[in-house]
Structure 1
Amino acid sequence: MQSNYFQQLTQHLQQQGTGTPQLILDLEHYQHNLDYVQSHLPEQLQPRLVVKSLANLQLLKLASDKLNTQRFMVFHLPHLAEIIQTFKQADILLGKQMPIHAVERFYQAAINLDHPPYIQWLIDDLGRLQQYLQLAQWFNICLNVNIEIDVGLHRGGVQNSQQFLALLKLIQQHSAHLKLTGLMGYDAHVAKLPKILKSAEKSYQQSQQSYQQYIDIIRQQFPNLWHENLCFNGGGSPTFIQHCQQSVCNDLAFGSLLLKPGDFDLANLAKLQYTLWIATPVLKVLRHSQLPGLEVLNHLPHKYKALFIYGGYWQANYIYPEKSKPHGLYGRSSNQEMLLVPKFCEIDRDDYVFLRPTQSEAVIPQFAQLYAYAQGKFEAWDNFRE
């Protein structure tokens, strides 16, 4: 990003800001990313928005409208309630397994819901499926179950056909209380494996072959469980482009790429724009850093001056002023972090320092509001806090 962008943003924050750390969304960049995603999604792939990465109703509404979807992947039970209340046609796939007590509490509260939500509960092994079956029998309901398959990430889920067959047989035996709605295979390892171990192309091909084998088992050995509306979910932001080019899946989950935090600086996402910034005021400016017990160093030449900012220690990287960095010896602080900036950098108290989050899901919950920035104006949007 160019310096004049942050200088202009600083001026607008000094005029309209809160004087406290703020999470800023560049709305034009977010809309650019939505346009990019829309233009690359093939017709056979249904988009599914990852709620933890876009934990703000306005963000989700904009994406839902632009991409014409009410499919969501939910990882946190309180987010489930927000989605159900807001999106009446929501198709919800759990992105991780929910402990049985959490599911029980959900259905105890769900008695008062105006309409029954469509939820696919994620199942990873036989023991968990048996827990869910007992709960379904207790409440006399039929639970939609989506089976997690291990396609190479090795973070859990079904790892072989024997485990898979055991799950399918139990679902088949208890059709009054369990319904198979699909599979979920997360392939984040494809983009993260070092090339010396395996190329991304080969890793992706192998994950897809593994996925297809599980699809074939359902189609060939359990025809009574097979139907055209089964949800075969895959992907994630790191493999979005690969799935758009060729995929055995029909349902593609993503979220972070729409905001492009620092961990998603990947070659295949290069055309997406940065959208998210932490802006925090400068509290103090010192001519140079001063270390307790090492005052003798004060007399040495210094290349940097020191700032103390409002807050700090976020899961984010300092972007502006350029070449700014935390002090390696002074230590990090979430209250008043010391920041070193080049000696001739023009910055004063009440100016702003900017950071780029590395992950949206880690940073958004730390702020009560997201400030959408467009044409020099800010609009406050409430974030999910739990």
Structure 2
Amino acid sequence: MKRRGFLLGMGAIAAAGWLLRPDNRGAPHNLYFQGLNDYLKTTGPGRPLMLLDHQRLSANCQTLMAMLPQGKALRIVAKSLPSVSLVQEVMTLTGSDRVMVFHQPFINALAKAEPGCDMLLGKPMPVQAARQFYKELDPASGFNPDAQLQWLVDSLPRLEQYLSLAQSLKRRLRINVEIDVGLHRGGLTRPAQLDALLTLIHAHPEHLQFSGFMGYDAHVGKLPGFIQSAEEGHRETEAIYRRYIDRLYHQAPQYQQQSLCFNGAGSPTIGLYDEHAVVNELSAGSCLVKATDFDLPLLRDFQPAVFIAAPVIKSMDGLNLPGPIPLGSAWQQWDLNRQHTYFIYGGYWKAEPVSPAGLAANPVYGVSSNQMMFNGSAETALSMDDQIFFRPTQSEFVLLQFGDLAIWDGDKISQWWPVLPQGSGA
């Protein structure tokens, strides 16, 4: 290639690269986040914290109750709201005393704090965890597990374990059976499998009591629409659930006269249910705080209600990356969103920056849980001790990482609500 042609080619490439440069996505905090920023900068604890907006939580509870089909009860999913105080507040705001629990210490804590609540396990517990619950149960609390707690059982061997536990404790355990409605994460896979469980339960009425079914449908809506729409997936799970209920009533007609728990749904799918659904109660929790994983069309009326606030430790003009090549200098000229550097207190959370707009972690510099780098344009306009706000991608783990929840009531932090102990695995 001749020199002139080579230079023209390189010039064309450079011009194309310049045309493809990212737009400036930066903007300062909006009015909402600026109010939070100003308060925390002068009154906050000077460390990362998890903010819960009480006004938004209350509005989300109203939204949820408005979309709940007639005749269907709400069961509050505790793992998505991993604080006894938060669960209690949601119970007050929704009027529901039904809670789905996933972690043995939380069962005991909730039994003590809310002795009138009705609890259903959201996953099958190892029998040793169930044994530990009874060991730690305070008999003076007023909570009666024989009437208010349903253990989830996914198989005949687990039911046999629970029978042995009930016999050793001289108690009667309420048994809810997990059924596979298409998620394929466990539970009965064929209605005929129910027969053996019912036979064992009916043979030991002093120690076991059948209380209903739980069928979780988190898979619905996850497939591309050209394979299966959310509505088609929902109809399929409903049909599977119906077959288990039909089998139950055929094998044991007496249950048609009893009040059983037929639990289903979850935040991503609760909007698909109507008053004709085969289940009689619907579970939800994540939609009430709305982490980014729940930015779904069916949940568009819910507001984000939890935010990580992290102080800026260092604010620097430009992008100065380690190493002998001046990559940072070229990068910031090409991308206006790399013209300013912020190092924050902490980082590497399951969360995405939401304010100021246009911030992004630096993939070359790498991640850090101590002082993580974020870049933005000049319009982000942050100084030392300002706050960067993040939205968690999910709530059940991330809400446990910051100590007590800071409850924001529009103009101040009014309360601090304890969360479950670190490492709870809830």
Per the normalisation by structure 2, the TM-score is 0.87
Question: Deviation of residue 231 (structure 1)?
Answer: 0.2
Aligned counterpart in structure 2 of residue 108 of structure 1, from 135, 139, 157: 135
Q: How does 1:206-217 map to 2 (within 5 A)?
A: 206-217=236-247
Number of equivalent positions: 386
Give the counterpart of 2:264 among 234, 253, 258. Answer: 234
Q: Structure 1's 61 and 107: CA in aligned 2 closer, same or farther, altered over 3 A?
A: closer
Q: Deviations over 1:159-186 (max 9, x none)?
A: 0023222212211222221100000000
Deviations 1:353-375 (A, max 9, x none): 01001111121111211111123
Q: 1:312 to 1:244 in 2, by over 3 A?
A: farther
Residue from 107, 112, 124 that aligns with 1:80: 107
Q: Deviations over 1:29-65 (max 9, x none)?
A: 1111111112222341111111111112332222111
Show the 5 A alignment for 1:28-47.
28-47=55-74
Matched to 1:14, the amino acid is: K
User: In structure 1, the residue corresponding to 2:75 is in which secondary structure?
Assistant: strand
Report the equivalent of 1:144.
174
1:191 and 2:226 correspond: no
Partner residue in 2 for 1:336:
371
Going from structure 1 to structure 2, the CA distance change for 1:300 and 1:2 (only over 3 Å counts) comes to: closer
Q: Could you tell me how far apart the structure 2 residues matched to 1:246 and 1:95 are?
A: 24
Whole-Å separation in 2 of the counterparts to 1:201 and 1:321: 37
* Cα distance in structure 1, aligned partners of 2:410 and 2:329: 46
C-alpha distance in structure 2 between counterparts of 1:29 and 1:298, whole Å: 40
CA distance in 1, matches of 2:166, 2:76: 27
Distance 2:196 2:250 in 1: 15
Counterpart position of 2:413: 378
Tell me by how many angstroms 1:241 deviates: 1.2
% identity of equivalent residues: 39
Output the CA distance in 1 between the equivalents of 2:347 and 2:301: 30
Find out whether 1:347 has 2:382 as its counterpart. yes
| 2:375 aligned counterpart, secondary structure | strand
Query: Structure 1 residue 282 and structure 2 residue 320: aligned?
Result: no
1:268 alignment counterpart:
298
Residues 282 and 349, structure 1, Cα contact 8 Å, conserved in 2: yes
* 5+ residue gaps, structure 1: none
Give 3-state SS (helix, strand or coil) of 1:282's partner.
Answer: strand
- The farther-off stretch of 358-367 and 189-198 is 189-198
**1:150-206 deviation per Cα after TM superposition (whole angstroms, max 9, x unaligned):** 001111000002322221221122222110000000011113222132111110001
- Determine the C-alpha separation between the residues in 2 that align with 1:231 and 1:289: 58
Q: Does 1:164 align with 2:194?
A: yes
Deviation string for 1:282-328 (max 9, x for gaps)?
00012223332245335536232211000001111111121111111
Cα RMSD (Å):
1.7
Q: Structure 1 residue 356 and structure 2 residue 391: aligned?
A: yes
Deviates more, 1:82-91 or 1:179-188: 82-91
Contact between 1:323 and 1:341, CA under 8 Å: does it hold in 2? Answer: yes
Query: Which structure is larger by alpha-carbon Rg, 1 or 2?
Result: 2
On the 8 A contact 2:105/2:133 being kept in 1, the answer is: no
Report the alpha carbon displacement of residue 100 of structure 1 after superposing the two structures with TM. 1.0
